[in-house]
């Protein structure tokens, strides 16, 4: 039996996360906010990778870089690559196969938060 979207969206935080439990909803909200405010689209680029396109603005890039660095400090399995290409701001997110449910949850949250986005 497959997972429902609600189950995917609630499986965001892995057991290996070292962020204090009380701070985890706050971090999720930070991701949700940047997706909703500046996200443009979500693309699955590989089984273990997702690309999110954002408004190409320096403030958005700085916000994403800060968020990615803080996320890697508590969930070191994430690989984030932030880049500008052809006037697009792209955040590539990769995880090992063992953490695929976390990536699925991130993609689902991004897709839900970005108006009109589809995964």
Q: Report yes or no: 70 and 27 within 8 Å, Cβ to Cβ.
A: yes
Structural element, H or E, at residue 62: helix 58-74
Identify the weakest region by mean pLDDT among 6-10, 52-56, 112-116. 6-10
pLDDT digits (tens, 9 = 90+) for 77-99: 899 999 999 999 999 999 999 98
Q: Report yes or no: 107 and 42 within 8 Å, Cβ to Cβ.
A: yes
Largest CA distance in the chain: 43
Q: What CA–CA distances, in Å, run from 16 to 20, 38, 42, 44, 52?
A: 11, 29, 25, 24, 24
pTM of the model: 0.83
pLDDT digits (tens, 9 = 90+) for 8-35: 344 456 666 665 566 667 878 899 999 9
Structural element, H or E, at residue 100: helix 100-113
């Amino acid at each position: 039996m497959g997972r429902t979207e609600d189950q995917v969206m609630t499986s965001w935080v892995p057991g290996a996360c070292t962020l204090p439990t009380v701070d985890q909803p706050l971090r999720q909200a930070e991701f949700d906010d940047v997706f909703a405010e500046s996200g443009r689209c979500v693309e699955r680029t590989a089984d273990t990778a997702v690309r999110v396109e954002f408004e190409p603005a320096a403030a958005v890039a700085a916000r994403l870089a800060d968020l990615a660095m803080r996320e890697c400090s508590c969930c070191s399995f994430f690989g984030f690559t932030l880049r500008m290409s052809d006037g697009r701001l792209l955040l590539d997110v990769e995880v090992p196969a063992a953490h695929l449910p976390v990536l699925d949850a991130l993609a689902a949250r991004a897709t839900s938060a970005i108006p009109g986005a589809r995964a």
